[in-house]
Amino acid sequence: MTLAETGSRKKVVKRALPEHSQVLRRTTQIVFLALNAWIGIQFYLFVRYYETGGRSFFASRPAGVEGWLPIASLMNLKVLLSTGGISKIHPAGTFLVIAFLAASWIFRKSFCGWLCPVGTISEYLWRLGRKLFGRNFRLPRSLDIALRSLKYILMALFLYAVAMMSVPAIHQFLDSPYGVVDDVKMLNFFREIGTTGAIVLAILALGSMATPNFWCRYFCPYGALMGLVSLLSPLRIRRDSDLCIDCAKCAKACPAALPVDRLVTIQSAECAGCLGCVAACPAEGALFLSAPRRRRVPAWAVATGIAMLFLGTYTYARWTGHWNTDLPSRLYFELIPHADEFEHP
């Protein structure tokens, strides 16, 4: 008797209660996307104030912009681990990278599946692509594996560069004009994007429409780091083979193309803890997020845990005075209008 024949004879026990994991996750995604949009607008107004010599609307610098500076954040994390001290330049980035790593460690790469605004946009792009094309596309297995290695190569290069820098060298970099306004240079890249940059972004957008999470799956070194950390997570997607009816809906729903229907537990670094497979499963109790000793973890616990971790880290950083980069306005008036003139030291 084949597995398919056995599975076809199983009777599905439908859920007694509706499954709300995707509502919770998408709400969290939208809230965090809106937060980043607000940070972006405030940061733009902050930069324009100093670019115009104080003749435009004043906005204070939002420290949350440092979440978009992962390399500087990793540098500051090394300073913290090496000396126990917090850098005065971009300190918020230190706490944000700690919060994101902790979330991915505890809740299965949840930074990528629940918080990352790029991941959220990517998800809506592949959903749009599915509506336009009638389906999404998977690359051949050999090409898929080869491309997935790129993000780990990039991650290794960045980690190696940070690891090889001494603490004094990191301070010298961050205290340099380039280090002070590297966030402004990032903004200017998008404001003054050239033809090559626009083409690359267009390719990534089209790729994301065709293949789920194209950028995240193949090129994002930050996501690669979060994925490796998630391998140590105490949580796993678990399939109860006795309750499973072998419909394979979980595997079809997985944006990472993991064979959920053929495994007992999902331990892959590609699993973003999105719970999409759990939401797609029609059988009561067949698929669930499991803590040690097979204890079931509901979606609301994941959403609450992520929110408490993020807000707790933010509150601690503000309380200890390590959130804002406090520099005199005179320095910003001097540096921001000439941000593009500073070269990488």
Output the pLDDT for position 342.
Answer: 87
- Asked whether the predicted pLDDT for residue 106 surpasses 70, the reply is yes
3 pLDDT above the threshold of 60: no
Q: Calculate mean pLDDT across residues 289-299.
A: 94
Residue range 23-36, pLDDT digits in tens: 999 999 999 999 99
pTM of this prediction? 0.91
Q: H/E element holding 265?
A: strand 265-266
Whether 132 and 30 share a structural domain: yes
Full domain range(s) for residue 335: 22-232+298-321+329-339
Residue 266 inside a domain? The answer is yes
Question: Same domain, yes or no, for 282 and 312?
Answer: no
DSSP for 44-79, please give it.
HHHHHHHHTTS-S---PPPGGGGGG-HHHHHHHHHH
State whether 171 and 223 are in the same domain.
Answer: yes
Both 250 and 302 in a single domain? no
Residues 65 and 163 in one domain: yes
Q: Are 200 and 333 part of one and the same domain?
A: yes
19 pLDDT more than 90: no
Q: How far is CA 216 from CA 88, 94, 105, in A?
A: 31, 22, 18
Parallel, antiparallel or unpaired: strands 236-239 and 287-291: antiparallel
pLDDT band for position 345 (50/70/90)? confident
pLDDT at 325: 94
Q: CA dist 203 to 3, 210, 219, Å?
A: 41, 11, 13
Mean pLDDT confidence for 201-228: 96
Kindly state the DSSP code that residue 231 receives in the 8-state scheme: T
Distance CA 195, CA 291 (A): 48
- Residue 287: give its domain's CATH number: 3.30.70
Asked if 282 and 166 sit in the same domain, the reply is: no
Do the domain assignments include residue 87?
A: yes
CA 37/CA 287 separation, integer angstroms = 35
